Amino acid sequence: MTYQRTATLDQLAARIKAADRVVCTAHAKPDGDAAGSVVALTRALASTHQVQAWLAGPVPPPMHAIIGDTPWISIRESSDIPTQEPDLIIVLDTGARSQLYPMVEWLDARRDRVIGIDHHASGDDVAPERFIDASAASCTMLVMELIDCLGITLGQDMATPLFAGLATDTGWFRQANADARAFAAAARLLACDVDKDGLYRAIEETARPQRLSLQARALQSIQWRQDGQVAVMRLTQQDFEDTEGRRSEVTGLVNAPLVVAGGEMAALLLEESSGAIKVSMRSKPPKHAGGDFFNVSQIARELGGGGHVHAAGAEVQGGMDEVSDQLDAAIERCRP
């Protein structure tokens, strides 16, 4: 199946207008873009629809700064799914079945009522009607456009989570996807009196001291591959026990090796309690326009995952050494 656009935003807006009971949801363990997309659209529809925000899996503590006082339903198991049937389900910031546990079977049984909005280049046929724009820096940019199509006036309550999603998905406007379109969207949102400094503090500066201990473990584990261009780090369950660190505290650690001049890509292998290995990858844009770079989305697909060209990941079954070898082989096959 080719993951591509099957509907326009105007067509999706028409579906939303025709519905009464609406559910807004996103991928499990929501990041800033997923949480921001769900919260912003929920707030936009609150005055015209019976709308619910569903957030699946553990919600990282910094995301609560984005959620604010918006009511939401935690979906940790399929039994958490409310029994009341919605007229429409809007899946945001993903089209990957693997990212929608524990809702995927429930969504499959209601395919005719599922629409999707996503900015990732790869995904599955979860939402038959979907708007995909991989050139957008964040899903919240597309949600902002959808709100315009709905004829809803953008206010601070919506602009704040929209900006949070855009800022976090661009590394606070440092990454290559922070293009002119992203800055134009940011300018429009900031004009709605978004407190960007307060958001940064609430999202990025809330770590416990244990996070630094986890970061130290990750940095101590670095192995340089591909002639020093690729840094591979590891965090095991023992590391979490020794440091009393939390899984939510690894966010952003994968970027640390990219401060090295010759480092072009970084990967973090994280041992999950299930025994699987979560592989997170980041890469730098090319030094010169049109130059070579490590396309981590392609590498992730080799491992059964996906994502963006400079930020991607996968969950792989196997031991740490085995998965590390698989990662090496995938990098070698996809090296620039």
188-198 pLDDT, tens digit each: 999 999 999 99
Please count the residues of the chain.
Answer: 336
Residue 134 pLDDT? 94
Q: How many whole angstroms separate alpha carbon 177 and alpha carbon 179?
A: 5
Ramachandran angles phi, psi of 210, nearest 5°:
-65, -25
Per-residue model confidence (pLDDT) at position 144: 98
pLDDT at 65: 93
SS (H, E, C) the chain: CCCCCCCCHHHHHHHHHHCCEEEEEECCCCCHHHHHHHHHHHHHHCCCCEEEEEEECCCCHHHHHHHCCCCCEEECCHHHCCCCCCCEEEEECCCCHHHCCCCHHHHHCCHHHEEEEECCCCCCCCCCEEEECCCCCCHHHHHHHHHHHCCCCCCHHHHHHHHHHHHHHCCCCCCCCCCHHHHHHHHHHHCCCCCHHHHHHHHHCCCCHHHHHHHHHHHHCCEEECCCCEEEEEECHHHHHHHCCCHHHHCCHHHHHHHCCCCCEEEEEEECCCCCEEEEEEECCCCCCCCCCCCHHHHHHHCCCEECCCEEEEEECCCHHHHHHHHHHHHHHHCC
| pLDDT tens per residue, range 286-296 | 988 889 999 99
> Is the Cβ–Cβ distance between 145 and 119 less than 8 Å?
no
Q: Which residues pair with 90 in a beta bridge?
A: 24, 115
Q: In this predicted structure, what is the pLDDT of residue 276?
A: 92
List C-alpha distances in Å: 45 to 197, 281, 300, 317: 27, 35, 35, 40
**Tokens 């996906």 sit on residue:** 306
Return d(Cα 104, Cα 82) in angstroms, integer. Answer: 14
Residue 78 CA from chain centroid, whole number: 21
Q: What are the domain boundaries of the chain?
A: 9-204, 209-334
Q: What is the pLDDT of residue 27?
A: 96
Q: Does CATH number 3.20.20.30 belong to domain 9-204?
A: no
* Alpha-carbon torsion (234, 94, 133, 315), positive or negative: positive
pLDDT band (50, 70, 90) for residue 335: confident
The pTM (predicted TM-score) of the whole model is 0.84
- Residue range 209-334 forms a domain whose CATH class is alpha beta
**Residue pair 115/15 in contact by the 8 Å Cβ criterion:** yes
pLDDT tens string 123-177: 999 999 999 999 999 999 999 999 999 999 999 999 999 999 999 999 999 988 9
- β-sheet with 277-283: strand ranges across: 223-225, 230-235, 265-271, 277-283, 311-316, 306-307
Quote the tokens at residue 140.
């919240």
pLDDT in tens, 77-136: 999 999 999 999 999 999 999 899 999 999 999 999 999 999 998 899 999 999 999 999
Q: What is the pLDDT of residues 21-79, one digit of tens each?
A: 999 999 999 999 999 999 999 999 999 999 999 999 889 888 999 999 999 999 999 99
As a whole number of angstroms, the distance between CA 41 and CA 53 comes to: 9
pLDDT for 301 equals 92
Burial of 43 (0-12, 13-18, 19+ CB in 10 A): buried
Q: How confident is the model at residue 336 (pLDDT cuts 50, 70, 90)?
A: confident
Band (323; pLDDT cuts 50, 70, 90): very high
pLDDT, residue 281, reads: 97
Q: What's the whole-number mean pLDDT along residues 291-306?
A: 93
